[in-house]
Amino acid sequence: MSKKQEYIDKMRGQLEGFNAKIEILKTGASKADSSFQPSYHSTIEELTLKRQVVESKLHQLENAEDDNWEDLKEEMEKAWADFSTTIKAANARFT
């Protein structure tokens, strides 16, 4: 397996884990006091948008030529860091 494919597989696995955390937040939002629901929903929307960016970057990586995927990896790392920070903050805030 190439380094590119190993990286893609690793990121897909991590993304699946974060998707599960988003689902937990959605469940919490549905059970939350009505005063907290707007905050939950805005956070979930933000996470959904950032997840879409990460998925887009991952798709670009999958379609990249083997000789230039490293350039896209840097963009992926930045998008991932932003998404990861946001989801960790949401988990700390709501759980």
Give the domain extent around 49. Answer: 3-94
Identify whether the C-beta of residue 11 lies closer than 8 Å to the C-beta of residue 80.
yes
Residue/partner pairs of 28-37 with CB below 8 Å, 24 or more apart:
28/94, 28/95, 32/94
The structural domain count of the chain equals: 1
**Higher pLDDT among residues 63 and 94, named by residue:** 63
Q: CB within 8 A of 19, min separation 6: which ones?
A: 51
- Please write the tens of the pLDDT for every residue from 34-60: 888 888 889 999 999 999 999 999 999
Cβ distance 73 to 60 under 8 Å? no
The model's pTM is 0.87
CA distance 70 to 76: 10
